[in-house]
Amino acid sequence: MHKIWNFHGGVHPNENKTQSNQLPIVVMPAPKQLVLPLSQHIGKAAKAIVERGDYVLKGQLIASAQGFVSANIHAPSSGYVSALVERTLPHQSALSGPCIVIDTDGKDQWVELNPATNPESLSKQELLNLVHAAGITGMGGASFPSAVKLQLKSDIHTLIINAAECEPYITADDRLMREYADQIVAGIQLLQQLLGQPQCLIGIEDNKPEAIAALRLSLSHKMDQHTNIEVCVIPTKYPSGGEKQLVEILTGHQVPHGGIPANIGIVCQNVGTAKAIFDAIIKGQPLIKRITTVTGKAAANAGNYEVLIGTQVEDLLAFAKVDLTRTSRLVMGGPMMGFTIQDTQTPLVKGTNCILAAADLELAPVADHHACIRCGQCEVACPADLLPQQLFWFAKAEEFEKAQDHNLSDCIECGACAWVCPSQIPLVQYYRYAKGRVKSINSEARLAELARQRFETREQRLVDEKSAKEEKRKIRAVAAAAAQAAKRAANPTEEDPIAAALARVNKQKQEQQTAAAPKSPEEAYKELKTAAAITRTKLKKTSTALANAKAKDHELEASLQQTVDQLTVKAEAALAELKAYEAKLGLDPEKEKTLLVAVAKTNAAIRKLEKTLATSEDPQALQKDITEAKAAHQIATKSLADHQANPTAKPASAQES
Ligand code: SF4
Ligand code: SF4
């Protein structure tokens, strides 16, 4: 007999299993409508490959897996796709998500199936492909795609079949084992074949004697096959069906923090998954149905039902004669790990093992909780060796880093801590909240890190491009200088064409200056003003061109910089020459500005007076003011004209004033 170990913590809530495990499984006929969420497994949602109006056959692929961690979805019955819409998802958040809705036609007509004719000859990869194609996910509730879980790099010495079904009320696996033991054992043998024939331990709680007997009977029929499969009966204690807890119970080894059983050479599969693998490979049927327990005091026909995936809760409840007027709470899953649902149109998915229709006072009321009294009972109950009260404080204070340091991720959300808590604190809700926040913080950090890496890569690329350009420019300049030098060396008598052109321009200028008639002071002043303005404009234009060249990293940048430097000197010299000439002539450079202001002011005064004339009580006096203003404007205008015509002359008005 296989040795059994114990695990730390755990609790013994009322089992409440006999309400639903007495009668055989009842097959529920296809309902009128099936709702299939595209995301009913851990990982990426599947992608719909059908459209509204399409006719589909039972077992036909309707949504294909996307990416590595994902699962196919098949039509559970024949009918028409009536919609691709958002519907409430079977999740504690009660959020909506995309679903394929099928209106069944009552024919339940299968697509052509391809069962394996010689399964013993299938290779590991062929078996994996069949598991993947059938859309099988963990049937124990976690819904992790099975093909991904079985695609292992490390050697596996032990396959553990989780038949513990430790959560109160739920009996779906119990009835499945009693009624389909042969198919389960055949499914386990296929799993062994896929994993390289490891030993197999079936972990089952001692509160299921009929299921234990059925499995043992089935194995006894296969004595000649040396199956290496052992049924290991374990004490009833919640949560012995937790993956890590079952590994410890059956092997005495602990899965490392943050690790998975494969790290120590073990793979766990649910007993329902073994049956689904049998259906997929031996019958060629994809995963389109499951056994779901309907229980609770409000369920007149409590029992286990074979339901099509996508059946809405209200249809199953109606079939099981659940009195909704007596139901105080509807729970999807069990009382420890399940969640309350409000929308009875929520569909059942691959991982839905129970619908609990609880009557008044059947489940502990969701009471106002009290302050933590640090009694430590939660720590004693925790099967994952955690400090639940510490995790609670960290989650409440939003100290998520500290919660992570205290192994929040190892919490299996079993609810044992909340069950024993005398203050009735909904501890698991705090842990779920903290896990959700940690997940989004990590994903934000990942995105920020990716953005940082992209930015740094771009910066480095720009620097590299700039240095490469500069290098090329230098090489070109050296080559041009060498070519020039070679040309001069080949013909030393030939003059430098640039120097010659400059000399010609200077000579021409000198000749023009010599030939020109002597200028009046006004003409000389005008020329100096024009020369200063032209140099200023040139400097402005060249500076703009230089800025553009710098922005585009143009090769003309250096020569433009040189021109700007030269023009700056030239503009300063022209301005200095102009100022000196103004000083020599005794000119006031601000004079023109002053005269312009005087003209504008007198003009404005006239307009203002004329505007008020129409409404004035004394128009005669105002008319006199207008006449005076006009005279002042005339004087200012004349002074300006005189100054502009002869800026070096002393204006008469100035002399007068
Ligand atoms: S059981 Fe409840 S009251 Fe006691 S320490 Fe834990 S959280 Fe606090
Ligand atoms: S819910 Fe988490 S913290 Fe509470 S007992 Fe279970 S594993 Fe421990």
Residues 524-577 have pLDDT tens digits of 888 888 999 999 999 999 898 888 888 877 777 778 888 888 889 899 999 988
Same domain, yes or no: 165 and 129: yes
Name residues contacting ligand 2 (CB within 6 A).
Answer: 381-384, 386, 388, 411-417, 427-428, 431
For 129-182, how does the pLDDT look when each residue is reduced to its tens digit (9 = 90+)? 999 999 999 998 778 999 999 998 779 999 999 999 999 999 999 999 999 999
Same domain for 418 and 456 = yes
Query: What is the CA(419)–ligand 1 centre distance, in A?
Result: 10
CB atoms under 10 Å from CB of 325, counted, come to: 6
pTM for the full predicted model: 0.71
CA quadruple 217, 223, 227, 228: dihedral positive or negative? positive
CA angle 634, 639, 643 (to 5 degrees): 150
- The pair phi, psi for residue 474, each rounded to 5°, is -65, -45
398 C-alpha vs ligand 2 centroid, how far in Å?
A: 18
CA 208 vs CA 223, 272, 276, 419, 530: distances in Å: 23, 15, 21, 24, 110
- On whether the CB atoms of residues 599 and 640 are closer than 8 A, the answer is yes
- Give, rounded to a whole angstrom, the gap between the first and last alpha carbons of the chain: 129
Query: What is the identity of the amino acid at 615?
Result: T
Q: How far apart are CA 205 and CA 508, in angstroms?
A: 114
Ligand 1 binding pocket (C-beta < 6 A) is 372-378, 388-389, 392, 420-423, 425
Query: Rounded to the nearest whole angstrom, what is the distance from the C-alpha of residue 241 to the centroid of ligand 2?
Result: 14
* Nearest ligand by distance to the CA of 432: 2
Q: Give per-residue pLDDT as tens, 310-328.
A: 999 999 999 999 999 999 9
Of all ligands present, the nearest one to the C-alpha of 371 is: 1
Looking at the structure, tell me whether residues 537 and 605 fall in a common domain.
no
Q: Rounded distance, CA 373 to CA 382, Å?
A: 17
Which residue among 421, 427, 431 is best mutated to probe the pocket of ligand 1, counting the most ligand atoms within 8 A of its Cβ? 421
Nearest-CA residue for ligand 2 atom 8 is 382
Instruction: Kindly give the number of the ligand 1 atom that is closest to the alpha carbon of 376.
Output: 5
Nearest atom of ligand 1 to the alpha carbon of 427: 7
CA-proximal residue: ligand 2, atom 7 (nearest):
411
Residue 294 lies in a domain: no
Query: Does 264 lie in the same domain as 204?
Result: yes
If one counts the domains in the chain, the total is 4
pLDDT at 179: 98
Cβ-in-10-Å burial (0-12, 13-18, 19+) of 555 comes to: middle
- Give the Å distance between the CA of 332 and the centre of ligand 1: 26
The verdict on 258 and 169 lying in the same domain is: yes
Please tell me whether residues 149 and 260 are part of one structural domain: yes
What residue's CA is closest to ligand 1, atom 7? 389
User: Do 128 and 227 belong together in one domain?
Assistant: yes
Give me the pLDDT at residue 244, please: 95
Domain region containing 399: 367-486
Q: Which residue has its alpha carbon closest to ligand 2 atom 3?
A: 388
> In this predicted structure, what is the pLDDT of residue 657?
35
579 & 597 share domain: no
Give CA–CA dist 376/368, Å, rounded. Answer: 20
Distance (Å, rounded) from C-alpha 508 to C-alpha 425? 101
Segments in the chain below pLDDT 50: 651-657
In a domain, 60, yes or no: no
Residue 516's pLDDT is what? 64
Give distance in angstroms: CA of 384 to centre of ligand 2.
Answer: 7
- What tokens appear for 177 in the block? 């084992």
CATH of the domain at 440: 1.10.1060
d(CA 379, ligand 1 centre) in Å = 8
455 plus 600 within the same structural domain: no
Task: Give domain status of residue 556, yes or no.
Answer: yes
**Are residue 563 and residue 623 in the same domain, yes or no?**
no
Ligand 1 atom nearest to CA at 374: 5
Tell me, yes or no, whether 475 and 595 share the same domain. Answer: no
